[in-house]
Each structure stands twice: as C-alpha cells, then as structure tokens.
Structure 1
Amino acid sequence: MAADLSLIEKSATDILKLLKKEEISPLDLLDTLEARISDVDGQVNALPTLCFDRARKHAKALMKRPKEGRGLLMGMPIPIKDLTDVAGVRSTQGSPIFADHIPTASNILVENLEARGGVIYAKSNTPEFGAGANTFNEVFGRTLNPYNTKLSAAGSSGGAAVSLATGQAWLAHGSDMGGSLRNPASFCGIVGMRPSPGRVAANPGAKIDSTLGVEGPMARTVADLALLLDAMSGDDHRDPRSLPLPKRGFRAALRSGWKPRRIAYSADLGITPVDPEVRAITQKAAQRFAAAGIEVEEAHPDFSEVHECFGTLRAYAFAATKVELLRTHRDQLKPEVIWNIEKGLALTMEELTRAENQRLAMLQRTLTFFETYDLLLTPATIVAAYPVEQRFVAECDGFTFPDYVQWLSIAYALTTVSCPALSLPCGFTSDGRPVGLQIAARPHGEAMILAGASMLEDILALDTVRPIDPRG
C-alpha cells in the first residue's frame, strides 16, 4: 500500500484495530506519515528530526514476529520529544550545546515503548531543556500553532502537540514539570496527561528521587491517550521511582462505567489571574457535568504557598542537573535557563527545608480535599495561545508576573502535590483559539481522570479525532 492520507483522520484506536487485522502494516503508516509531514510540517516546524530509515528497519523486524508477539502497539509510529534520547538519532534537548549529539543508547522510556510495539520515526521540537512554555530554540527555531501560525503552540511538548493536531502523529510522547504536557494540549486542541510520578519509567536525572518532572502521553482523544498510557506504564528496575502496572489497564477504566459523584471547579485555585474568556469557557464546560446529574461545586485545596515552594524546588532541580553546563557553556544557554540555575545555586538550606515542608502541608490538604471530591477541574492554562514572538506570558487580566514561570501556576500547583492531571479540549475563544480544561485527581488517580474526561468528551462532542491543516 502506498501512502494513504485518509488514515490520518482515523483515531489511534482504529489504526490499532487495522494493524491487528493486518489490513494495514506499520510500513503503510510510516509511508503515510512521511507524506503528511512533507505536506504540512514546513508550515509549523513540529518534527524537525526524522528517522524513517531507522523506523522502517524496526517495523520490518516487528512484522516478522507472529501477531501476538508484536506488543500492545503492534507497530504504531510514535514521535519522541527531543529532551529524550533515541539511540542513533540526533537528540539535541533544544540546545546548541547538544546540536550534534547522537546518543548510542536510548532512554528507558524509548526502550520500553519499542519493546511494546512502538516505532520511533521522529523527534518533536521543544524549548531548550524544556524551560519555558513556548516552543522555540536556537537549534530548530519556533514551533507554530496550527490554529493560527502567528501564535505559540505553548510548551514544552509543543512539537508533540502540533504533530497530533496536524495529523503528523496518532500518538505522541511528552514530558511535564510545570504543565509541559498540559499547556500545549490546551493551546493546540488535543489531549495531554501528566501521570503520577513513577507511572512511566524513564532514566533518572541527577536527583534520582525527583517527582517534579514526569513522562507522559498525548493524543487526539481520551481513548487514544489511555492506549498510550497503557503502553508506557510499568515498573523498571533502572528507575527506582517506577510503579508497577495497575491491576486494571487504563483503557479498561474507560469501559468500567465509573462516574464521579462530586466534582470541584476552580477558575484560579486562589493563586492566579485568569483571562475572562478562558474562565467562562472552562466554567461552562465544567457545568456540563451538572447537567449529567453530577454535583459540581466551586472549591479548591489551599495552595497559598505554591509559588514560593515550586519556585524553590524547580530552581534546585535546574541547579542539580545543569550546573556543569553553566560552568562550561554559559554563553550557549538562554537567559531563562541561566536565571533558574543561578537561583538554585543561591538557595540556602533554610529555603529548601521550608519548600519541602510547604509541599508536605499542601499535599496533606489536597489529600483531605479529595476525600470530598472525586475530581478537580480548572482551566488547563490561564490564557489561550498568544503571539509566538512573545517569549512567555508577562501579564494577565491586569496582573504582571514576576518571572517567566509563574503564569503556569494553575498547572504546577498540581505538579507540586504529585497529582495526575489531564488537559481536555473544551471549547474555543471567539477568534477560534482552543481552550483546555484541566481534570485532576488524587495521586495514582489516573483511571478516574480518564473515565471522567471520556464522559465529558462525549458530552462536548468537539470531534478532535480529525486533524487540521495549518491555518495562517
């Protein structure tokens, strides 16, 4: 079969069914993606590094196995975010320092995906070291929002989100510390989920017990995202944080019939300004649960210490992982990264201790909150897509942010207390920019989030399965 561009309009779940029936092959999917990328990626710059020769070699080897030995994904192609190493493929981390880096070994995440039938064909664009929720870097340039190519795709998993929205992927990998799976999902009208820490095994960083940064799935529908989360999940002895597979898979959670009894909605978590139109759109979407007979109340945990707490812990993480780069390649680092590393190096033990105590107090209050509510709903981001030339959101609804990170607090509040959270498309602004609704649950509550998100996805009926052509 030659490239069949009608396949890009299908869901990943439907593609998997065709693979199982052997009505299509992984090679057909790669041909289709290569043609689609040739048609549209020049307009959005989502997938700057391609590795189709490697992908076809892997696909051919997979096809020699009996069907039952091809893994859960059966040869499904997946792009990997350019923060994550793929053996033999240029892996830059969005940094001039690593512009020519070709690793000899893959990240644990990549090894496990390939063992479960995933085929890696591309690296998706990211900001330098994932810092900043606008996808641009000095190696590959800007990734553009397909709904309006003058706007940001957010970040740091911006290339992954855009590849999905434009039909250059059926499933995609991303990562998240301060909303990097959720922000681009919101801006690009797709689904992105930050799982609980340890849900997806990956190479530990300099701080091996870190729970701030996690790997996770992105897709165009909740069912497709659950498929990829099933393929990503499971423990690995090389990652001491990793969790065992749940007794029931995440796709099974969508078929379980579980419904939330009581839901909380908060436009701002008491910590941030929110664009009035984004507030209205997300509140209206949340109230659709009420129309389905589910109790919806305005409430949220107390996150009053989160700006100081997350700022300290994030800075410590940057210092722990990037201090040597500051010493040897300072002139090649963007100013936001330098600021974060230097802030971390200047921290005192008293500041670190206070941040850990603040985090514990917020976690305890959040766990108590989830004894009353099954799910917490908020805007996934406080604004819709903004001009791509703007490095970050400096002001919202009359409030000026003190740094390049704080506009992300509605996402990083959930990061700080280790809660899984998902961004679900829930509507559009008056000028056609997508808006995402964040759906969160207690730690290890991914199954509840997915069931609730699937229910609301059906109610809203936004039809995100079909990708779009980039719009200038």
Structure 2
Amino acid sequence: MELSRTTASDLLNALSTRQVSTQEVMQQTLNRIGAVNQAANAIVALRDPDDLMAEARALDAGPNRGQLHGLPIAVKDVVNVAGIVSSQGSPIFKGHIPQRDDLIAARMRAAGAILIGKTNVPEFGLGSHTFNPVYGATANPYNLTRTCGGSSGGAAVALATGMVALADGSDAMGSLRNPAAWNNVYGFRPSWGRVPSEPVGDGFLHQLSTLGPMARSPEDLGLLLDVISGPDSRQPYGGAHPNIFPVKAADMRGLQIGWLDDWGGAYPFEDGIRKMCQDALSVFTQQGAEVVPVAPPIEAERLWDTWTTLRSWSVAASLAPLADQREALKDTAQWELDRGLTLTAMQVHQASVVRSEWFRRAAKLMRDYDALVLPSTQVWPFEIETPYPTEIAGQRMDTYHRWMEVMVPVSLIGLPCLALPVGFGVNGLPMGMQVFGPRGADARILSIGAAYHAVTGWPQKRPATP
C-alpha cells in the first residue's frame, strides 16, 4: 500500500480489517518522512520514533478507538498539542511544550489518531508563504525552489508527498485553499461555526478564520470534517451538524455552476491561471452541468477595504498581549498590529455593515446557482526567498497580502469552499480553483468535488516526489 497515493479512507479500512497493522503504517510513515522531509521541511517537531512505534503497538493490542484509529497525523503548528513543541513559528514560543491539547487536536486524538508532530507554518500563520525563524521555509515538492503557500503549507506538502494521508489546517484568508492549489491536493474551508475554534479570548466578535481539513480526496475531507465538527458548549456559535462521510458524488446533470472569473477585471492574474480553471470547468459540463459566467455581484474594492479593516482588527486583538515584544514579531505582524490598534469602533462597525450587505447579496445570488467558482490564487508559486509578491501582471500590490484578494469574497462571509486541483501549468507547477456555496451547503460542495475527483484524480495521478 503506497502511502503517497492511498487515500485515508482506504488506509483506515485496511487498518480496521487488519489487512495492515498500525505498526506497519507507522513504520511506513516514518520511512517516508525520512526519505522526503529533509528536502521539503514540511513536518517539524517530530516525536521520538520509538515512542511513536510504542503507541502504534498499543493501538494494535487494544480496541478500535474511533474513526481515525491508528492513523498518523501531524498537526498544524498554530495548534497546541500536549507534549509536542508548539511554536506557532515564532521565536517567542520556540521550545514551548503545552500541557494540554487544543480542541481540534483533542478531537483527533479521541478518534484514534496518533499525533506524530507538527506541520510547518508562517509565523503566527500570517501570510501565504510558509517560512519562519524557528524552522525555516517549507519548499514546494513540485519545485523545491518555489513556495508551497500557506499558512497550511506544511500540511499540504506532507499530504502531497505521502508523509501523511490526512491533515488539519486553518483558513482566514485562504490558508487551506492556496496551499491546496500549489500542492495538488484538496482543502476545505467549512461553513463558519461548523468546526469550533479554541474557546479562549473573544468568542463573539472576531469571526474570520476557521479550522478545516486537507486531504487527497473530497471523501477524506468529509471523514476528517466529521471528526472535528460539532458544537462546543463554551462557545456561542455553531451547533449540531449531520455527518457528511461517506461523501457521495453528486449527479451533476442540470446543475448550474456560476463562473466569477476575475471579478469583472478587478483581480489581476499571472498568465495561464484563468485558462487552466476555465478548462477544468469543462469537467462539470461534460458531466451535465451548465457553467454560466457571472458578473461581479459587489464592488471588489468595497470587499477589500472591509476585509483589511476586520482582519487587522482581529489580528491586532490576538497579538496585543505580545505588544511589548513587538520587535520580535515579523514585519507583517507588526504592520497588522499597528494598523489594528489605530482603528476606531465606528470604522469596524462600518466594515461590518458592508460585510453584512455582501452576505445578503451572496445569499440572493446563490438561489440561482448550485455553486460558484473562482480561481484559488492569482499567481504561480513564487521563489522561496521572496516574502510575498509585490506585483501581478504589471499591477503593484499595496499590501503584503493583496495578491490573495481572490480569496476575500468567501473568507469575508464564512462560506463553505472546496479548493480542488486543476492540473499543472507549462511550468510544471500545480494550480487550483475554489468551488463554494451558501452557508450550510458543506455536503453539497463536497459532493460536487467528489464528482470532479472521480474524473480527474489529480493527487493520485501526480503525487509529489521531491
């Protein structure tokens, strides 16, 4: 059973039927990490191999513990995991070993997963390029001189190279979707509230980011999504949701798919990206769906101004306890902190008004479409030494994250969104697109993805071999 191509669902089935032991899976996992991680630098803070093998033996000797029984998982390094260094990529927390699991890690552990270490992130998860002063940069496994994206970059690379079969991630401004596109895997941003965050600090106001799954198939996304979903009584939002796994492929006949393209010219793209996404849409039409061009439903600049206000406000709130160590933060974190601290209550309120308007417009638009589609990124994976793009197709970027503006329509209003791979450009690098729908349509979006995957199967056709 080759880990770089095997889905988590198939692997877990083999474990549950004793076709393979947890020890065998763990040994293959460690062998694969040993073979490729030095070049990719995706998994960090790896636990002692002897301890991992002992935990695998204990699981083999005991009863089945849940949906993830015996599956090795490396947890994104913005999540605290008991007994494993959890640094958030920051020198401030270098060597920090938590005493307890964050909620998402606790849920995966309770479902029988073996938490083997962490996946690399940008410092504090800021920016879609995975590098930090603690562990360094994570390379794109399809070209080691290029970025893998982020902030769930280590997770995407670990999946693409077969070091793990399933991974968790998080997404504020595309952190599940951009690295999925650049590593030929799937990432899913759930409806906001479906997967509860860690119950610390504010639980009412700062609602932009969400946790979510990454995998090599939409079915595997549904598997992990069920494990990490569900209400947490300590938090005011979210509630019970029906299980999604097993994910069944949608009957695409007669479905209406809206193509938003470049938002009426508002979003610049590097050459070839829009064409690749348009070509991928032909899979839907061949399956009987109708793909319809959609005009921009709201002005892009209004969304951008709203997003940057709410994001800086949220980031500054989370970084405020570190304000006295400001000089230890990377420059983009300092920028967000400084900007957020100058915002007035009425500026934040006005941004929330525009956000609410966009939610209402999107809800009306989606009555006419079963799903909407945008590209997953505006640029190809850039050089690993470049902190972030400053120009796209001759258009200057005025912030460190403007090059990810295509993510904002989904992120701003917490819609369920599947990032799926669309193949490889003439440069040999992967690309992807976003398929999204109304709040609560998680199962529908994943089923559309499953229909697409049944035809394309990109992660299994082109696994990364750095």
TM-score by length of 1: 0.94
Q: Contact conserved, 2:184 with 2:458, CA < 8 A, in 1?
A: no
Counterpart check, 1:254 vs 2:248: yes
Cα RMSD (Å): 1.8
Q: 1:306 aligns with which of 303, 307, 310?
A: 303
Counterpart check, 1:436 vs 2:443: no
Tell me by how many angstroms 1:89 deviates. 0.7
State the distance in 2 between where 1:253 and 1:336 align.
39
Tell me by how many angstroms 1:343 deviates. 0.5
Q: What do the CA deviations read for 1:41-98 (whole angstroms, capped 9, x no partner)?
A: 000100021124554454444444433xx20112211110000000011000000000
Counterpart check, 1:468 vs 2:464: yes
Q: Contact conserved, 2:77 with 2:119, CA < 8 A, in 1?
A: yes
CA 1:276–1:256: 2 relative to 1, 3 Å: closer
Q: Which moved more, 1:136-145 or 1:273-282?
A: 273-282
Q: What do the CA deviations read for 1:102-145 (whole angstroms, capped 9, x no partner)?
A: 11111011111111122111200000000010000000000000
Superposition pairs of residues 168-247 of structure 1, within 5 angstroms: 168-209=163-204, 210-246=206-242
User: What code does the residue aligned with 2:317 have?
Assistant: A
> What SS class does the counterpart of residue 358 from structure 1 fall into?
helix
Task: Provide the aligned length of Structure 1 versus Structure 2.
Answer: 461
User: What code does the residue aligned with 1:393 have?
Assistant: P
Counterpart check, 1:321 vs 2:318: yes
Q: 2:269 aligns with which of 258, 271, 274?
A: 274
User: What code does the residue aligned with 1:290 have?
Assistant: T
Q: 2:257 aligns with which of 237, 253, 263?
A: 263
Q: Which moved more, 1:282-291 or 1:128-137?
A: 282-291
Task: Tell me the equivalent position of 2:129.
Answer: 134
TM-score by length of 2: 0.95
Counterpart check, 1:358 vs 2:354: yes
User: What code does the residue aligned with 1:106 have?
Assistant: D
Q: 1:449 aligns with which of 445, 455, 458?
A: 445
State the distance in 1 between where 2:247 and 2:199 align.
29
Tell me by how many angstroms 1:165 deviates. 0.7
Sequence identity (%):
35
Q: Contact conserved, 2:165 with 2:215, CA < 8 A, in 1?
A: yes
User: What code does the residue aligned with 1:119 have?
Assistant: I
Task: Tell me the equivalent position of 1:284.
Answer: 279
User: What code does the residue aligned with 2:421 have?
Assistant: P
State the distance in 2 between where 1:256 and 1:278 align.
26
Q: Contact conserved, 2:90 with 2:123, CA < 8 A, in 1?
A: yes
> What SS class does the counterpart of residue 147 from structure 2 fall into?
coil
Q: Which moved more, 1:58-67 or 1:207-216?
A: 58-67
Q: Which moved more, 1:255-264 or 1:202-211?
A: 255-264
Tell me by how many angstroms 1:291 deviates. 2.5
Task: Tell me the equivalent position of 2:145.
Answer: 150
State the distance in 2 between where 1:118 and 1:352 align.
40
Unaligned runs of 5+ in 2: none
Q: Contact conserved, 2:397 with 2:403, CA < 8 A, in 1?
A: yes
Task: Tell me the equivalent position of 2:373.
Answer: 377
Q: Contact conserved, 2:3 with 2:165, CA < 8 A, in 1?
A: no
User: What code does the residue aligned with 1:123 have?
Assistant: K
Q: Contact conserved, 1:309 with 1:358, CA < 8 A, in 2?
A: yes
Superposition pairs of residues 118-133 of structure 1, within 5 angstroms: 118-133=113-128
State the distance in 2 between where 1:400 and 1:262 align.
35
Q: Which moved more, 1:251-260 or 1:301-310?
A: 251-260
State the distance in 2 between where 1:166 and 1:98 align.
28
Task: Tell me the equivalent position of 2:160.
Answer: 165
Q: Contact conserved, 1:220 with 1:465, CA < 8 A, in 2?
A: no
